[in-house]
Chains A and B, each alone.
Chain A
Amino acid sequence: MKFTHLFLVSAAIAVLSGCGTPPKSPDELRTLVKADGMGASHDEFVVNKPFRQVSDIMKKKWMSCLDTTTSIRVPRGNGLYGVDSYAFKPTSSIKGQHMELALQQKNTTANNITVGDPPPDGFFIMVADITAMNSNSTKVSLQKLSLGFDGVMKRSRQWAEGTSTACPDLTQ
């Protein structure tokens, strides 16, 4: 996993250095996922439960599990170590029979300079769209545009389907 972190950090730097444009809004993220941008992943499925039931549990789990911070100790060379820190912010909005959940990631590492003019709470890395299909079925669309975070995708599906309540470890 530790090698993965270095790779992810390198990849993130590549993205932020101009190899891609990190999304600054949920709509930008959807557009970039549709264009199959780097790190794009899309999972869409239908749950045979009422919209209210699915949206309630999804909102509850996003707000409790993803409002978090992570820190990863990494070597800086010459036997020195540094700590890369990130803050995650989940948000939700609902319009009628549609709920949007979004997740932002902000690099809070000391002395870090993030290029690309990120929003105050960081670039958007994941969006979940929950839409009522009829009185007893709900469509869930999970989209991410970031390397890693497969655990969030996996857990989100499990939350919607009701097969797990566990939170993902965002350092994995």
Chain B
Amino acid sequence: MSRQFVGTRAGAIGLLALLAGLLSGCSDLKTYESKEPPNLHIVAKKLKSGNLDIISSFSAQIHVGSIDSHCQTSYVGTVELSDKPVDIGVPVGRQNYLVVEFTNNSHWAAYNATSATYKTLFTPRAGYRYDMEVAYQDGGYDIAIYEHGRQGGARHEVDHRPFSACGKS
């Protein structure tokens, strides 16, 4: 699959197309396959819908896109989040686009399946490890990416970067 967006507006439209496909049951999502050694440790916690489980189910995913030097984005794959941590390899030394998506699926057939997204540029550095923490509870979510020092030690939070910052230092 090849999805290419240029700029923020087109990028948003492309992402919406992705979501629309997902919600309509015509999703062409694919599992993200790391081509690099794992450098991003993802922990999802407190994933609750806020409703009873018999009413709805809740899921979270991270869509990974690659970005070229002209800020064109291509969808690479999707990581399903669960209670178990997952490690993936994200290409170092270049910009990637991470989109976190939350989906609430009602078991009652009517109007259901809602989702929200959180989007950030992510440029991991060679030789560094990163933690991504995702939490959802009671109608709110927390997402943060942390970078560990080369020799371990304290980690620090990586700034969120919107797509509009693509190409800017």
Contacts and interface: CB of A to CB of B under 8 A. Distances in A.
B116 A60 contact: no
**By DSSP majority rule, is chain A's interface helix, strand, loop, or mixed?**
mixed
Interface in B111-158: 111-120, 135-136, 139-143
Interface residues of A, number: 35
Contacts of A69: 12, 15-16, 19, 116-117
A108 B118 contact: no
A77 to B, nearest CB: 11
A142 to B, nearest CB: 16
B8 to A, nearest CB: 9
A60 B144 CA distance: 12
Interface in B47-70: 50-51
A171 B20 contact: no
B93 to A, nearest CB: 23
B7 interface: no
Interface string A1-36: 111011000000000000000000000000000000
Interface of B: 12-13, 15-16, 19-20, 22-24, 50-51, 102, 104, 106, 108, 110-120, 135-136, 139-143, 160, 162
8 nearest A-B pairs in the assembled complex, by CB-CB distance: A166-B140, A64-B160, A171-B114, A73-B113, A2-B111, A172-B139, A71-B19, A74-B111
18 contacts: A2-B108, A64-B160, A65-B118, A67-B119, A69-B116, A69-B117, A70-B115, A71-B19, A71-B20, A71-B115, A73-B23, A75-B111, A108-B16, A151-B139, A164-B140, A167-B143, A169-B139, A171-B104
